[in-house]
């Protein structure tokens, strides 16, 4: 007897994306999103850039998950199946304090609605090859550039292994050069 599956090769992992925002793109993305009538896109982008949360985690947020006194967000039933807490930046905490609470859900937009609004904004700004998930990569890379340790970034991102985490960390040559001098 022979195993027919033994001839099947496992597909290679896809190449890791390394799309980073330039400082100008980051500013444009936030400032133009802030001008939109739908403020939920701005909030979702801000949360993604400041916390490295996944899109699904962001859209599932409830006001009860936000601890404004400690400036911590509780994420329940994350992708990896574990609950975790992420720290709010001062910028995010200040913005959340300005939002009028209507019901317990922080977002009323669907995942496809958020994706559509994000694509429309990036097309308008002529930001090519930028996906909402790239904001998670950007946040994780920025955490490392700000000096957070591997365990600290892993806690924020929710990655189970260092190998998974490092697929999201993309150093910029200019930042390395600044540090090497």
Q: What residues are labeled active site?
A: 54, 79, 133, 136, 159, 168
DSSP state of 111: H
Triad 36, 110, 50: Cα angle to 5°? 60
Mind giving me the DSSP string for 37-101? S-HHHHHHHHHHHHH---HHHHHT-BGGGEETTTTEEEE-S-TTS--EEEEPPHHHHHHHHTSPP
């Amino acid at each position: 007897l022979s195993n027919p599956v033994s001839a099947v090769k496992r597909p290679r992992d896809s190449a890791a994306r390394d799309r980073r925002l330039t400082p100008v793109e980051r500013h444009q993305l936030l400032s133009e999103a802030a001008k939109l009538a739908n403020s939920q896109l701005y909030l979702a982008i801000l949360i993604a850039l400041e916390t490295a949360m996944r899109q699904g985690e962001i859209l599932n947020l409830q006001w009860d998950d936000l601890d404004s006194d400690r400036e911590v967000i509780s994420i329940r039933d994350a992708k990896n199946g574990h609950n975790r807490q992420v720290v709010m930046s001062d910028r995010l905490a200040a913005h959340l304090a300005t939002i009028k609470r209507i019901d317990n859900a922080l977002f009323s937009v669907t995942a496809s609605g958020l994706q559509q609004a994000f694509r429309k904004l990036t097309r308008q700004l002529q930001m090519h090859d930028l996906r909402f998930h790239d904001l998670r990569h950007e946040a994780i890379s920025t955490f490392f550039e700000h000096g957070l340790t591997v365990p600290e970034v892993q806690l924020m991102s929710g990655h189970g292994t260092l190998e998974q985490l490092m697929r999201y960390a993309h150093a910029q040559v200019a930042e390395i050069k600044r540090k090497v001098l």
